[in-house]
């Protein structure tokens, strides 16, 4: 009888569901919406790890949970959908308020490779020679191959006065380049204006921050007061920003109610963002300068003016960041940044992962110091407006 009882006890334990073998873990029951999803393999692996892993003392159950969630989110294969444990979530909240120090460069993942979208004008990154489309292979000697976008950002950012070394690959260069950058407090100059010969006025917009709409209004006033008749909108190396600001700026060209951008949501509904209809610039001959560093709101504005008014894009293909993220606050201070929508131009062209092709493509010289022109893209724009 004793032997029979022992065998029965062993058999019962060996064949019980894996989830029941994992002790002292709360909330293991599937929610009602996931009752048809089989989690037995997950709990089986968890149990075997705790039972047989050689360094059990190194296992941290909270880290195991965070790791499992990160893997779940990563399976979406979207670099902008990420799980942030409490520490990273806190840093993210500080970053979006502008309270950060670093090198001053927007980065993203392109085909799984960490890539510079654009160095901000006047930033340490620009001063050290970092360029849009540079592929970052290493950060301080550590490979970026398996890093998420947020992990890479945390490595590159740091305290003012400290140094970070980026190993980058650049198209046209046959070897990796090491770029040493001293971190600093990042100050972004939103708009620069310049008068060119033959009645041409240039507005350089570096980012779509909350104050960019007001700054652009002042630039439009400067344009009219200058007596200029033609306009170049320079969005090169502009990584984007607020959608509402892009809509507001587009309104200086478009009629009331004209579509600026279409937003395709996760539930297959579509939101349409329309012009406020200031249209003071509608009859002003305009071209837009773009490159690999023009992303997000820059692509929205460029696509809207191209589709609705036939404004020409001059330069290089844009980055292709056309998605909307929402931050969900989770228990314990963690957060989930999740892509909830994609942007389409007024004519329905998808931006995300594709970018916008320029109407007039300008190939940059491999050795710009040997060229007579310091800015062949600007030269092409001036030539185009002179026709």
Positions annotated as catalytic residues are 296, 307, 321
Residue 157, both tokens: 């950012």
Residue 228, both tokens: 């200029």
- Longest pairwise C-alpha distance within the chain: 105
Quick one: how far is CA 258 from the chain centroid? 27
Q: What's the rounded Cα separation, in Å, for the pair 273 and 261?
A: 5
Q: What share of the chain is helix, strand, coil (3-state, %, to 5)?
A: 35, 25, 40
Q: Please, are residues 148 and 128 in contact by the beta-carbon 8 Å criterion?
A: no
Q: Which of 325, 280, 334, 275 is nearest to 300 (CA)?
A: 275
CB pairs under 8 A, 24+ apart, for 369-377? Answer: 377/236, 377/289, 377/291, 377/314, 377/315
Q: What's the rounded Cα separation, in Å, for the pair 94 and 370?
A: 43
User: Angle 171-173-175 (CA atoms, 0-180°, nearest 5)?
Assistant: 120
């Amino acid at each position: 009888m004793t032997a029979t009882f022992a065998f029965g006890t062993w058999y019962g334990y060996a064949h019980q569901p894996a989830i029941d073998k994992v002790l002292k873990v709360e909330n293991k029951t599937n929610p009602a919406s996931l009752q048809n999803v089989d989690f037995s393999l997950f709990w089986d692996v968890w149990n075997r790890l705790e039972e047989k892993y050689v360094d059990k003392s190194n296992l941290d159950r909270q880290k195991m949970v965070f790791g499992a969630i990160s893997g779940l989110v990563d399976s979406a294969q979207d670099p902008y959908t990420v799980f942030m444990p409490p520490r990273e979530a806190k840093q993210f909240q500080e970053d979006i308020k502008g309270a950060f120090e670093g090198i001053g460069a927007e980065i993203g993942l392109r085909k799984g490779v960490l890539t510079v979208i654009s160095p901000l004008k006047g930033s340490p990154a620009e001063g050290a020679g970092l360029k849009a489309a540079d592929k970052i292979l290493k950060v301080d000697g550590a490979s970026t191959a398996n890093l998420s976008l947020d992990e890479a950002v945390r490595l590159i950012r740091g305290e003012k006065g400290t140094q970070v070394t980026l190993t980058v690959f650049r198209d046209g260069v046959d070897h990796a380049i090491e770029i040493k950058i001293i971190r600093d407090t990042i100050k972004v100059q939103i708009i620069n204006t310049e008068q060119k010969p033959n009645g041409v006025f240039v507005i350089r917009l570096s980012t779509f921050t909350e104050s960019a709409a007001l700054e652009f209004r002042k630039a439009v006033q400067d344009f009219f007061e200058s007596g200029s008749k033609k306009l170049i909108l320079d969005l090169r190396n502009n990584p984007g920003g607020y959608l509402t600001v892009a809509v507001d700026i587009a309104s200086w060209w478009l009629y009331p109610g004209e579509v600026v951008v279409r937003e395709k949501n996760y539930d297959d509904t579509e939101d349409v963002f329309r012009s406020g209809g200031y249209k003071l610039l509608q009859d002003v001959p305009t071209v837009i300068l773009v490159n690999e560093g023009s992303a997000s709101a820059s692509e929205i504005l460029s696509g809207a003016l191209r589709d609705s008014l036939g404004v020409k894009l001059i330069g290089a293909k844009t980055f292709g960041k056309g998605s909307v993220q929402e931050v969900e606050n989770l228990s314990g201070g963690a957060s989930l940044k999740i892509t909830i929508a994609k942007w389409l131009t007024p004519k329905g062209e998808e931006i995300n992962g594709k970018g916008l092709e320029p109407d007039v493509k300008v190939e940059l010289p491999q050795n710009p110091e040997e060229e007579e022109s310091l800015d062949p893209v600007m030269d092409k724009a001036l030539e185009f407006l002179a026709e």
